[in-house]
Structure 1
Amino acid sequence: MRVGFVTLFPEMVLGALRHGVLGRAAERGLVSYAAADPRDFVYDRHRTVDDRPFGGFDGMLIKADPVVAAVRWLRPPHGAAVVFTDPTGDRFDQRAAEELSRRPEVVFVCGRYEGIDDRARLLVGTHTFSLGDFVLTGGEIPALAMADAVVRLLPGVVGSEGSLRQDSHQDGLLSAPQYTRPREIEGLAVPDELLSGDHRAAKRWQRAQALRLTRERRPDLFCRARLEKGDLDLLQ
Protein backbone atom coordinates (compact mmCIF):
# COMPACT_ATOMS: atom_id res chain seq x y z
CA MET A 1 0.00 0.00 0.00
CA ARG A 2 1.00 3.60 -0.55
CA VAL A 3 -0.19 6.33 1.80
CA GLY A 4 -0.08 9.88 0.49
CA PHE A 5 -0.61 13.25 2.10
CA VAL A 6 -1.55 16.61 0.64
CA THR A 7 -0.27 19.09 3.19
CA LEU A 8 1.36 22.49 3.56
CA PHE A 9 3.82 20.83 5.97
CA PRO A 10 5.16 17.68 4.27
CA GLU A 11 8.24 17.55 6.53
CA MET A 12 5.99 17.42 9.60
CA VAL A 13 4.11 14.40 8.26
CA LEU A 14 6.96 12.44 6.68
CA GLY A 15 9.18 13.04 9.70
CA ALA A 16 6.63 11.45 12.03
CA LEU A 17 6.34 8.42 9.74
CA ARG A 18 10.03 7.55 10.08
CA HIS A 19 9.57 6.26 13.63
CA GLY A 20 8.15 3.21 15.37
CA VAL A 21 5.94 0.62 13.73
CA LEU A 22 5.08 2.84 10.76
CA GLY A 23 8.73 3.52 10.02
CA ARG A 24 9.69 -0.15 10.24
CA ALA A 25 6.79 -1.06 7.95
CA ALA A 26 8.22 1.26 5.30
CA GLU A 27 11.74 -0.12 5.75
CA ARG A 28 10.40 -3.63 5.16
CA GLY A 29 8.55 -2.57 2.01
CA LEU A 30 5.08 -3.17 3.44
CA VAL A 31 4.00 0.43 2.85
CA SER A 32 5.38 3.57 1.23
CA TYR A 33 4.67 7.21 2.00
CA ALA A 34 4.54 10.30 -0.19
CA ALA A 35 3.54 13.92 0.29
CA ALA A 36 2.56 16.75 -2.03
CA ASP A 37 2.57 20.43 -1.05
CA PRO A 38 -0.18 22.53 -2.70
CA ARG A 39 2.32 25.42 -2.80
CA ASP A 40 4.20 23.52 -5.50
CA PHE A 41 1.19 23.88 -7.78
CA VAL A 42 0.78 27.66 -7.69
CA TYR A 43 2.97 29.95 -9.71
CA ASP A 44 2.68 33.45 -8.30
CA ARG A 45 5.65 35.08 -6.63
CA HIS A 46 4.48 34.33 -3.08
CA ARG A 47 3.18 30.78 -3.76
CA THR A 48 -0.23 31.80 -2.43
CA VAL A 49 -2.60 28.92 -1.70
CA ASP A 50 -5.25 30.73 0.36
CA ASP A 51 -7.82 33.45 -0.23
CA ARG A 52 -10.79 35.09 1.46
CA PRO A 53 -14.08 33.16 1.34
CA PHE A 54 -16.96 34.45 -0.74
CA GLY A 55 -19.82 35.85 1.34
CA GLY A 56 -17.67 38.14 3.45
CA PHE A 57 -17.00 35.52 6.15
CA ASP A 58 -13.99 35.64 8.48
CA GLY A 59 -10.75 33.75 7.97
CA MET A 60 -8.98 32.33 4.95
CA LEU A 61 -9.61 29.23 2.84
CA ILE A 62 -7.18 27.02 0.96
CA LYS A 63 -8.02 27.29 -2.72
CA ALA A 64 -9.38 24.26 -4.54
CA ASP A 65 -7.16 24.23 -7.62
CA PRO A 66 -3.75 23.64 -5.95
CA VAL A 67 -5.26 20.92 -3.74
CA VAL A 68 -6.79 19.14 -6.73
CA ALA A 69 -3.50 19.43 -8.63
CA ALA A 70 -1.55 18.00 -5.66
CA VAL A 71 -3.89 15.01 -5.36
CA ARG A 72 -3.65 14.31 -9.08
CA TRP A 73 0.16 14.64 -8.98
CA LEU A 74 0.21 11.74 -6.50
CA ARG A 75 -1.64 9.72 -9.16
CA PRO A 76 -3.85 7.61 -6.90
CA PRO A 77 -4.86 4.44 -8.81
CA HIS A 78 -8.38 3.25 -9.48
CA GLY A 79 -9.97 2.20 -6.19
CA ALA A 80 -7.84 4.51 -4.06
CA ALA A 81 -9.40 6.50 -1.22
CA VAL A 82 -8.91 10.27 -1.05
CA VAL A 83 -9.75 11.31 2.50
CA PHE A 84 -10.37 14.92 3.48
CA THR A 85 -9.80 15.60 7.18
CA ASP A 86 -12.49 17.99 8.36
CA PRO A 87 -14.50 18.51 11.58
CA THR A 88 -17.69 18.24 9.49
CA GLY A 89 -16.80 14.72 8.35
CA ASP A 90 -18.04 11.32 9.46
CA ARG A 91 -16.59 10.08 12.74
CA PHE A 92 -13.52 7.96 11.99
CA ASP A 93 -13.64 4.56 13.70
CA GLN A 94 -12.18 1.07 13.51
CA ARG A 95 -14.55 -0.01 10.76
CA ALA A 96 -13.43 2.94 8.65
CA ALA A 97 -9.79 1.96 9.27
CA GLU A 98 -10.51 -1.60 8.17
CA GLU A 99 -12.24 -0.41 5.00
CA LEU A 100 -9.36 1.92 4.09
CA SER A 101 -6.78 -0.81 4.76
CA ARG A 102 -8.28 -2.80 1.88
CA ARG A 103 -7.68 0.03 -0.61
CA PRO A 104 -4.60 0.01 -2.87
CA GLU A 105 -3.76 3.55 -1.77
CA VAL A 106 -5.04 6.17 0.65
CA VAL A 107 -4.41 9.90 0.21
CA PHE A 108 -5.12 12.17 3.17
CA VAL A 109 -5.87 15.81 2.36
CA CYS A 110 -4.99 18.01 5.33
CA GLY A 111 -6.88 21.25 5.77
CA ARG A 112 -5.61 24.47 7.35
CA TYR A 113 -7.04 27.89 8.24
CA GLU A 114 -10.86 27.81 7.91
CA GLY A 115 -10.66 24.75 5.66
CA ILE A 116 -10.50 23.99 1.95
CA ASP A 117 -12.75 25.28 -0.83
CA ASP A 118 -15.36 22.50 -0.92
CA ARG A 119 -15.05 22.08 -4.67
CA ALA A 120 -11.76 20.24 -4.10
CA ARG A 121 -13.59 17.57 -2.12
CA LEU A 122 -16.30 17.31 -4.76
CA LEU A 123 -13.73 16.90 -7.53
CA VAL A 124 -11.32 14.37 -6.02
CA GLY A 125 -12.56 13.26 -2.58
CA THR A 126 -14.02 9.86 -1.72
CA HIS A 127 -14.32 10.24 2.08
CA THR A 128 -14.46 13.03 4.67
CA PHE A 129 -13.52 12.05 8.21
CA SER A 130 -13.24 13.72 11.61
CA LEU A 131 -11.60 12.39 14.76
CA GLY A 132 -14.28 13.88 16.99
CA ASP A 133 -16.24 16.92 18.02
CA PHE A 134 -13.34 19.33 18.39
CA VAL A 135 -11.27 21.58 16.13
CA LEU A 136 -7.49 21.55 15.58
CA THR A 137 -5.23 24.03 13.83
CA GLY A 138 -4.70 21.67 10.91
CA GLY A 139 -5.47 18.26 9.46
CA GLU A 140 -1.98 16.76 9.73
CA ILE A 141 -2.40 15.26 13.21
CA PRO A 142 -5.77 13.66 12.37
CA ALA A 143 -4.31 12.36 9.10
CA LEU A 144 -1.37 10.77 10.93
CA ALA A 145 -3.70 9.20 13.49
CA MET A 146 -5.88 7.73 10.74
CA ALA A 147 -2.84 6.54 8.78
CA ASP A 148 -1.54 4.78 11.89
CA ALA A 149 -4.89 3.04 12.39
CA VAL A 150 -4.90 1.90 8.75
CA VAL A 151 -1.27 0.84 8.31
CA ARG A 152 -1.14 -1.28 11.48
CA LEU A 153 -3.89 -3.46 9.96
CA LEU A 154 -1.79 -4.37 6.91
CA PRO A 155 -0.47 -7.96 6.91
CA GLY A 156 2.94 -8.23 8.55
CA VAL A 157 3.04 -4.73 10.05
CA VAL A 158 2.20 -5.77 13.61
CA GLY A 159 4.29 -8.67 14.88
CA SER A 160 1.43 -10.61 16.47
CA GLU A 161 -1.72 -10.96 14.39
CA GLY A 162 -3.47 -12.18 17.55
CA SER A 163 -2.87 -8.85 19.26
CA LEU A 164 -4.94 -7.13 16.56
CA ARG A 165 -7.91 -9.33 17.39
CA GLN A 166 -7.68 -8.24 21.03
CA ASP A 167 -7.65 -4.52 20.28
CA SER A 168 -10.34 -2.19 21.53
CA HIS A 169 -13.13 -1.77 18.95
CA GLN A 170 -12.03 -4.79 16.91
CA ASP A 171 -15.20 -6.66 17.91
CA GLY A 172 -17.16 -3.58 18.94
CA LEU A 173 -15.97 -3.67 22.56
CA LEU A 174 -13.28 -1.90 24.55
CA SER A 175 -10.30 -4.02 25.55
CA ALA A 176 -10.08 -5.52 29.03
CA PRO A 177 -7.39 -4.18 31.41
CA GLN A 178 -4.00 -5.88 31.05
CA TYR A 179 -1.19 -6.52 33.53
CA THR A 180 2.45 -7.62 33.60
CA ARG A 181 5.13 -8.09 36.27
CA PRO A 182 5.33 -7.48 39.18
CA ARG A 183 2.30 -9.36 40.50
CA GLU A 184 1.65 -6.66 43.10
CA ILE A 185 2.48 -2.97 43.26
CA GLU A 186 1.55 -0.68 46.16
CA GLY A 187 -1.13 -3.10 47.32
CA LEU A 188 -2.69 -3.59 43.89
CA ALA A 189 -2.52 -7.24 42.79
CA VAL A 190 -3.03 -8.85 39.41
CA PRO A 191 -6.46 -10.59 39.28
CA ASP A 192 -6.29 -14.24 40.33
CA GLU A 193 -7.92 -15.40 37.09
CA LEU A 194 -4.84 -14.30 35.15
CA LEU A 195 -2.44 -16.17 37.44
CA SER A 196 -4.24 -19.52 37.66
CA GLY A 197 -2.70 -21.03 34.53
CA ASP A 198 -6.22 -21.81 33.27
CA HIS A 199 -6.32 -20.12 29.87
CA ARG A 200 -10.06 -20.66 29.47
CA ALA A 201 -10.72 -18.96 32.81
CA ALA A 202 -8.45 -16.08 31.78
CA LYS A 203 -10.35 -15.70 28.50
CA ARG A 204 -13.69 -15.67 30.34
CA TRP A 205 -12.37 -13.00 32.72
CA GLN A 206 -11.06 -10.96 29.78
CA ARG A 207 -14.41 -11.13 27.98
CA ALA A 208 -16.36 -10.20 31.11
CA GLN A 209 -14.11 -7.22 31.78
CA ALA A 210 -14.42 -6.01 28.18
CA LEU A 211 -18.20 -6.23 28.40
CA ARG A 212 -18.37 -4.40 31.74
CA LEU A 213 -15.91 -1.70 30.69
CA THR A 214 -17.76 -1.02 27.45
CA ARG A 215 -21.15 -0.91 29.17
CA GLU A 216 -19.86 1.54 31.79
CA ARG A 217 -17.69 3.83 29.67
CA ARG A 218 -19.19 3.59 26.18
CA PRO A 219 -22.86 2.55 26.37
CA ASP A 220 -23.22 3.74 22.77
CA LEU A 221 -20.74 1.06 21.67
CA PHE A 222 -22.26 -1.57 23.92
CA CYS A 223 -25.66 -1.13 22.27
CA ARG A 224 -24.09 -1.90 18.87
CA ALA A 225 -21.62 -4.59 19.98
CA ARG A 226 -21.69 -8.08 18.48
CA LEU A 227 -22.53 -10.08 21.61
CA GLU A 228 -21.79 -13.80 21.83
CA LYS A 229 -23.77 -16.58 23.45
CA GLY A 230 -23.14 -16.43 27.19
CA ASP A 231 -22.09 -12.77 27.27
CA LEU A 232 -25.11 -11.71 29.31
CA ASP A 233 -24.28 -14.40 31.88
CA LEU A 234 -20.77 -12.94 32.23
CA LEU A 235 -22.31 -9.59 33.14
CA GLN A 236 -24.26 -11.01 36.08
Structure 2
Amino acid sequence: MQFDIITIFPDILDSYFNESILKRAQKAGKIKIKMHDLRKYAAGKHRSVDDKPYGGGPGMVLMIEPLYKTLKKIRKKKNSQVILLDPAGKQFNQKIAQSYSKLDQLIMICGRYEGVDARIEEYIDQKVSIGSYILSGGELGAAVILEAISRLIPGVLGKYESTEYETFSGKDSEIIEHPQYTRPEVFKGLKVPEVLLSGNHQEI
Protein backbone atom coordinates (compact mmCIF):
# COMPACT_ATOMS: atom_id res chain seq x y z
CA MET A 1 0.00 0.00 0.00
CA GLN A 2 1.19 3.51 -0.76
CA PHE A 3 0.76 6.46 1.59
CA ASP A 4 1.19 9.99 0.21
CA ILE A 5 1.32 12.86 2.69
CA ILE A 6 0.98 16.46 1.48
CA THR A 7 2.54 18.93 3.89
CA ILE A 8 4.56 22.13 4.07
CA PHE A 9 6.99 20.34 6.42
CA PRO A 10 8.05 17.22 4.48
CA ASP A 11 10.81 16.24 6.94
CA ILE A 12 8.77 16.54 10.12
CA LEU A 13 7.89 12.83 10.38
CA ASP A 14 11.10 11.29 9.02
CA SER A 15 12.36 9.97 12.34
CA TYR A 16 9.06 8.34 13.26
CA PHE A 17 8.60 6.65 9.89
CA ASN A 18 12.13 5.25 9.95
CA GLU A 19 11.92 3.31 13.18
CA SER A 20 10.46 0.00 14.37
CA ILE A 21 7.47 -1.55 12.56
CA LEU A 22 7.10 1.12 9.89
CA LYS A 23 10.77 0.91 8.97
CA ARG A 24 10.58 -2.88 8.60
CA ALA A 25 7.34 -2.67 6.63
CA GLN A 26 8.91 -0.27 4.13
CA LYS A 27 12.05 -2.37 3.82
CA ALA A 28 9.92 -5.47 3.16
CA GLY A 29 7.94 -3.64 0.49
CA LYS A 30 4.64 -3.93 2.36
CA ILE A 31 4.10 -0.17 2.42
CA LYS A 32 5.49 2.92 0.70
CA ILE A 33 5.52 6.33 2.35
CA LYS A 34 6.00 9.44 0.24
CA MET A 35 6.15 12.96 1.65
CA HIS A 36 5.20 15.75 -0.75
CA ASP A 37 6.34 19.32 -0.17
CA LEU A 38 3.38 21.53 -1.05
CA ARG A 39 5.71 24.44 -1.81
CA LYS A 40 7.10 22.59 -4.83
CA TYR A 41 3.72 22.97 -6.48
CA ALA A 42 3.29 26.65 -5.62
CA ALA A 43 3.67 29.47 -8.13
CA GLY A 44 5.72 32.64 -7.87
CA LYS A 45 9.18 33.51 -6.71
CA HIS A 46 8.44 32.87 -3.05
CA ARG A 47 6.46 29.65 -3.54
CA SER A 48 3.66 30.92 -1.32
CA VAL A 49 1.11 28.30 -0.29
CA ASP A 50 -1.09 30.44 1.96
CA ASP A 51 -2.90 33.77 1.86
CA LYS A 52 -5.27 35.95 3.87
CA PRO A 53 -8.88 34.71 4.10
CA TYR A 54 -11.59 36.45 2.10
CA GLY A 55 -13.97 38.27 4.42
CA GLY A 56 -11.24 38.97 6.94
CA GLY A 57 -10.28 37.15 10.09
CA PRO A 58 -7.08 36.06 11.82
CA GLY A 59 -4.43 33.79 10.38
CA MET A 60 -3.70 32.45 6.93
CA VAL A 61 -5.42 29.85 4.76
CA LEU A 62 -3.75 27.21 2.57
CA MET A 63 -4.43 27.99 -1.08
CA ILE A 64 -6.39 25.67 -3.36
CA GLU A 65 -4.14 25.87 -6.44
CA PRO A 66 -0.96 24.17 -5.12
CA LEU A 67 -3.09 21.49 -3.46
CA TYR A 68 -4.92 20.80 -6.72
CA LYS A 69 -1.64 20.58 -8.63
CA THR A 70 -0.19 18.18 -6.07
CA LEU A 71 -3.22 15.89 -6.16
CA LYS A 72 -3.26 15.88 -9.95
CA LYS A 73 0.39 14.84 -9.96
CA ILE A 74 0.36 12.11 -7.31
CA ARG A 75 -3.06 10.44 -7.51
CA LYS A 76 -2.13 7.55 -9.76
CA LYS A 77 -3.82 4.42 -8.47
CA LYS A 78 -7.43 3.57 -9.26
CA ASN A 79 -8.15 2.11 -5.82
CA SER A 80 -7.24 5.28 -3.93
CA GLN A 81 -8.76 7.88 -1.64
CA VAL A 82 -7.86 11.43 -0.66
CA ILE A 83 -8.54 12.62 2.87
CA LEU A 84 -8.10 15.99 4.56
CA LEU A 85 -6.98 16.01 8.18
CA ASP A 86 -9.53 18.36 9.74
CA PRO A 87 -10.86 18.70 13.33
CA ALA A 88 -14.38 18.95 11.88
CA GLY A 89 -13.99 15.66 9.99
CA LYS A 90 -15.29 12.19 10.77
CA GLN A 91 -13.72 10.69 13.88
CA PHE A 92 -11.06 8.16 12.89
CA ASN A 93 -11.49 4.70 14.41
CA GLN A 94 -10.50 1.07 13.88
CA LYS A 95 -13.33 0.41 11.41
CA ILE A 96 -12.15 3.26 9.21
CA ALA A 97 -8.59 1.97 9.49
CA GLN A 98 -9.75 -1.45 8.34
CA SER A 99 -11.57 0.00 5.33
CA TYR A 100 -8.55 2.13 4.34
CA SER A 101 -6.23 -0.88 4.64
CA LYS A 102 -7.91 -2.36 1.55
CA LEU A 103 -6.83 0.60 -0.62
CA ASP A 104 -3.81 0.68 -2.90
CA GLN A 105 -3.15 4.36 -2.17
CA LEU A 106 -4.18 6.80 0.56
CA ILE A 107 -3.38 10.48 0.10
CA MET A 108 -3.50 12.64 3.23
CA ILE A 109 -3.59 16.44 3.13
CA CYS A 110 -2.19 18.07 6.26
CA GLY A 111 -3.81 21.39 7.06
CA ARG A 112 -1.94 24.28 8.67
CA TYR A 113 -2.63 27.78 9.94
CA GLU A 114 -6.36 28.62 9.94
CA GLY A 115 -7.19 25.75 7.63
CA VAL A 116 -7.56 24.99 3.94
CA ASP A 117 -9.52 26.77 1.20
CA ALA A 118 -12.94 25.09 1.42
CA ARG A 119 -12.97 24.42 -2.32
CA ILE A 120 -10.61 21.52 -1.66
CA GLU A 121 -13.71 19.53 -0.69
CA GLU A 122 -14.44 19.10 -4.40
CA TYR A 123 -11.23 17.08 -4.75
CA ILE A 124 -11.20 14.90 -1.64
CA ASP A 125 -13.16 11.84 -0.58
CA GLN A 126 -13.46 12.55 3.13
CA LYS A 127 -12.47 14.83 5.99
CA VAL A 128 -11.04 12.92 8.95
CA SER A 129 -10.27 13.92 12.53
CA ILE A 130 -8.25 12.06 15.17
CA GLY A 131 -10.01 13.79 18.05
CA SER A 132 -11.94 16.78 19.37
CA TYR A 133 -8.96 19.05 19.96
CA ILE A 134 -6.80 21.42 17.93
CA LEU A 135 -3.23 20.81 16.77
CA SER A 136 -0.97 23.12 14.79
CA GLY A 137 -1.25 20.91 11.73
CA GLY A 138 -2.37 17.58 10.36
CA GLU A 139 1.00 15.83 10.34
CA LEU A 140 0.59 14.04 13.67
CA GLY A 141 -2.87 12.92 12.60
CA ALA A 142 -1.44 11.55 9.38
CA ALA A 143 1.13 9.55 11.36
CA VAL A 144 -1.58 8.12 13.62
CA ILE A 145 -3.72 7.07 10.66
CA LEU A 146 -0.78 5.64 8.73
CA GLU A 147 0.37 3.44 11.60
CA ALA A 148 -3.14 2.22 12.46
CA ILE A 149 -3.66 1.15 8.83
CA SER A 150 -0.19 -0.32 8.37
CA ARG A 151 -0.67 -2.72 11.29
CA LEU A 152 -3.63 -4.25 9.43
CA ILE A 153 -1.72 -4.99 6.23
CA PRO A 154 -0.73 -8.68 6.04
CA GLY A 155 2.97 -9.18 6.66
CA VAL A 156 3.57 -5.89 8.46
CA LEU A 157 3.36 -7.38 11.96
CA GLY A 158 5.17 -10.55 12.95
CA LYS A 159 1.83 -12.35 13.19
CA TYR A 160 -1.10 -10.89 11.27
CA GLU A 161 -3.44 -12.84 13.55
CA SER A 162 -2.28 -10.78 16.53
CA THR A 163 -4.34 -7.80 15.34
CA GLU A 164 -7.55 -9.81 15.62
CA TYR A 165 -7.44 -9.86 19.41
CA GLU A 166 -6.32 -6.29 19.96
CA THR A 167 -8.54 -3.57 21.39
CA PHE A 168 -11.21 -2.38 18.91
CA SER A 169 -10.40 -5.22 16.50
CA GLY A 170 -12.04 -8.50 15.54
CA LYS A 171 -15.74 -9.22 15.27
CA ASP A 172 -16.71 -6.99 18.19
CA SER A 173 -14.92 -3.68 17.72
CA GLU A 174 -16.13 -2.39 21.11
CA ILE A 175 -14.27 -4.98 23.17
CA ILE A 176 -11.18 -3.80 25.06
CA GLU A 177 -8.20 -6.17 25.12
CA HIS A 178 -7.60 -7.98 28.43
CA PRO A 179 -4.81 -6.78 30.80
CA GLN A 180 -1.33 -8.15 30.07
CA TYR A 181 1.35 -9.29 32.52
CA THR A 182 4.98 -10.45 32.30
CA ARG A 183 7.81 -11.29 34.72
CA PRO A 184 8.39 -10.93 37.61
CA GLU A 185 5.45 -12.91 39.03
CA VAL A 186 5.40 -10.68 42.14
CA PHE A 187 6.41 -7.00 42.20
CA LYS A 188 6.23 -5.07 45.49
CA GLY A 189 3.41 -7.34 46.65
CA LEU A 190 1.47 -7.06 43.39
CA LYS A 191 0.87 -10.53 41.96
CA VAL A 192 0.01 -11.83 38.52
CA PRO A 193 -3.56 -13.33 38.59
CA GLU A 194 -3.43 -17.02 39.54
CA VAL A 195 -5.45 -18.07 36.50
CA LEU A 196 -2.67 -16.88 34.19
CA LEU A 197 -0.20 -19.15 36.01
CA SER A 198 -2.49 -22.18 36.04
CA GLY A 199 -1.79 -23.44 32.53
CA ASN A 200 -5.54 -23.91 32.02
CA HIS A 201 -5.99 -22.31 28.59
CA GLN A 202 -9.78 -22.60 28.71
CA GLU A 203 -9.99 -20.56 31.91
CA ILE A 204 -7.40 -18.10 30.63
**How many residues are aligned here?**
201
Deviations 1:100-147 (A, max 9, x none): 000111111100001111111322x11211011100000000000000
Matches within 5 A, 1:69-108: 69-108=69-108
Larger radius of gyration: 1
Give me the CA root mean square deviation: 1.1
Describe the shift of the 1:142–1:11 C-alpha distance in structure 2 as closer, same or farther (beyond 3 A).
same
- Report the counterpart of residue 231 of structure 1 in structure 2: none
- Report the counterpart of residue 130 of structure 1 in structure 2: 129
- Report the counterpart of residue 3 of structure 2 in structure 1: 3
Does residue 185 in structure 1 map to residue 187 in structure 2? Answer: yes
Match of 1:176 among 178, 185, 196: 178
- Report the counterpart of residue 160 of structure 1 in structure 2: 159
CA separation in 2, counterparts of 1:29 and 1:83?
A: 23
CA separation in 2, counterparts of 1:53 and 1:185?
A: 59
Does residue 21 in structure 1 map to residue 17 in structure 2? Answer: no
Counterpart residue identity of residue 131, structure 1: I
CA separation in 2, counterparts of 1:35 and 1:73?
A: 13
Q: Secondary structure at the match of 1:34?
A: strand
Q: Which moved more, 1:14-23 or 1:107-116?
A: 14-23
Question: TM-score if structure 2 supplies the norm length?
Answer: 0.95
Does residue 148 in structure 1 map to residue 154 in structure 2? Answer: no
Q: Secondary structure at the match of 2:12?
A: helix
Residue 76 of structure 1 deviates from its aligned partner by 3.3
Q: Secondary structure at the match of 1:70?
A: helix
Sequence identity percentage: 34
Structure 1, unaligned runs of 5 or more? 203-236
Matches within 5 A, 1:208-219: none
The structure where helix makes up a greater share of residues is 1
Structure 2, unaligned runs of 5 or more? none
Residue 77 of structure 1 deviates from its aligned partner by 1.4
Runs of 4+ in 1 over 4 A off after TM superposition: none
The structure where strand makes up a greater share of residues is 2
Describe the shift of the 1:111–1:100 C-alpha distance in structure 2 as closer, same or farther (beyond 3 A).
same
Higher relative contact order (CA 8 A, sep 6+): 2
Q: Secondary structure at the match of 2:167?
A: coil
CA separation in 2, counterparts of 1:31 and 1:197?
A: 39
Counterpart residue identity of residue 200, structure 1: Q
